[in-house]
A and B are shown apart, each in its own frame.
Chain A
Amino acid sequence: GENVEQHPSTLSVQEGDSAVIKCTYSDSASNYFPWYKQELGKRPQLIIDIRSNVGEKKDQRIAVTLNKTAKHFSLHITETQPEDSAVYFCAASKRDSGAGSYQLTFGKGTKLSVIP
């Protein structure tokens, strides 16, 4: 099955600095890589995703890069703000060709703290 490794497990940055979280996956059939932000006691919220036919995607202060050959993808947050503090999970997914549903395999998460 798929295995997703995520680093670092904790990350502290000063407000305004950039934060980078890295993930690797094992299954070359995985073709969809979402990133979720989860604040304490709340649901995981999709913040950005990338599909395997794209190398980079950006949405305002957030960007994701994907290297299919190396099987790794990264989340970049620029100009960090205190409200960016949360746990971030990467995930890898591929479609179950029979049922049409998707199995997300999550990384272990990164606790990001943005220090004002």
Chain B
Amino acid sequence: IAGITQAPTSQILAAGRRMTLRCTQDMRHNAMYWYRQDLGLGLRLIHYSNTAGTTGKGEVPDGYSVSRANTDDFPLTLASAVPSQTSVYFCASSDSGTGGYNEQFFGPGTRLTVL
């Protein structure tokens, strides 16, 4: 049982380059999320998707885009990376029904450094 996988584990990227972070879940969760985690700031929501085919903007969406072509995959793309996008990126997923906790399950993270 994999849960949520992310790739790559870590990456060093030159500023201006395009980069796609991959996220796949096998729990058949409707909702998926992308967060960045920076020291002293906690987890901040970048983009989310409540169901396949729909996406929404979170707290810090600028410079990032997402797509949700199917239930399992939710890639995050940096069109032209800048040093301020150096961070640890976590993908998460959850059920989205009205019953239950619907807690979010997190992937192992991608450590991205933009030089």
Same complex: no
Q: B-contacting residues of A (Cβ < 8 Å)?
A: none
Q: A-contacting residues of B (Cβ < 8 Å)?
A: none
